Amino acid sequence: MYTQCPECLTVYKLEAEQLVPACGCVRCRHCDTVFNALGTLATQLPPEPFARLPEHALDREPPLVDVAVFRPRPEPEPVPVEAPAIESIEAAPEADLPDEPPPEDFSQLTFTPAFARRKRRSWQTAAWVIVCLVLLFGLLAQLGWAKREALIADDTAGPLLHEVCDLFGCHLPLVAAPERLRLLARDVEQHPSVPDGLLITASVRNDASFAQPYPVVTIVLSDAQGQRLAMRRFQPEDYVGDTGARTRGLPAGATTAMVFEVQDPGQRAVAFSFSFE
């Protein structure tokens, strides 16, 4: 609901609770004028631009409200109870009085509070709990399998997974992280048995905290101007002959020597570079 100060014409937004304390009278925050908010009370503002809100006459007959939503039921009137007539009773002899029953003994009764009474769980509840746990473990296993490479490569979760697998005798899949392979040394020399061949050796260390597969090694030979003369990509089976070693991968922190045989592109080849994939 909205109303307007008659002095400064400031329009305010009101709630019904603000009209109750002073029977519709409010005080303008801008000019401090006290006015009757019911005179210009409106549920919606007229389209702009406007200067004044429509004023309502406050001296008319009270309107009739006829849409009732609730009316309490009338309380029943109390029925007066008449006092019984008191008649004189003559004292009867003690022999004519009936025998009174002996008082009951409640000292041996045991009371158990309601909160101490445990209800036995039915087998349906236990079965439902087991099914929920199995589904939860299945969901966690699916999430772990989907994020297995990130978990194995993590410095905190990876060692824990390795310990668990060593305990149960399982093997974690190898995760490739070529950016964690460090080239320690490299050398190139003429092949001892092939006239136009070169023998390139490299020493590589795995700086990761987990074992990873042997990488694909790319060797590029270039001249003095940096122009590429020859390039070859070596798969792991090209320089690691042991199948078991390829399956186990390069252990964490281990160093391996790699030997590559390439064809000599001639005297122009003066530089070579390594990259891992």
Condensed to tens digits (0 to 9), the pLDDT of residues 122-179 reads 788 888 889 899 988 888 878 777 776 677 777 677 677 767 777 777 777 788 888 8
**pLDDT at residue number 63:** 79
pTM of the model: 0.42
**For 45-50, what is the mean pLDDT?**
84
Answer yes or no: is pLDDT of 89 > 50.
Answer: no
**pLDDT at residue number 264:** 78
Percent of the chain with pLDDT over 90: 15
**pLDDT at residue number 255:** 92
List C-alpha distances in Å: 261 to 110, 195, 219, 228, 234.
94, 12, 11, 18, 10
Answer yes or no: is pLDDT of 211 > 80.
Answer: yes
DSSP the chain: -EEE-TTT--EEE--HHHHTTTTTEEE-TTT--EEEGGGG-BSSPPSSS-S-PPP--SSSPPPPP------PPPPPPPPPPPPPPP---PPPPGGGSPPPPPPP--TT-----GGG-PPPPPHHHHHHHHHHHHHHHHHHHHHHHHTHHHHHHSTTHHHHHHHHHHHHT--PPP---GGGEEEEEEEEEE-SS-TTEEEEEEEEEE-SSS-BPPPPEEEEEE-TT--EEEEEEE-HHHH---HHHHHH-B-TT-EEEEEEEEE---TT--EEEEEE-
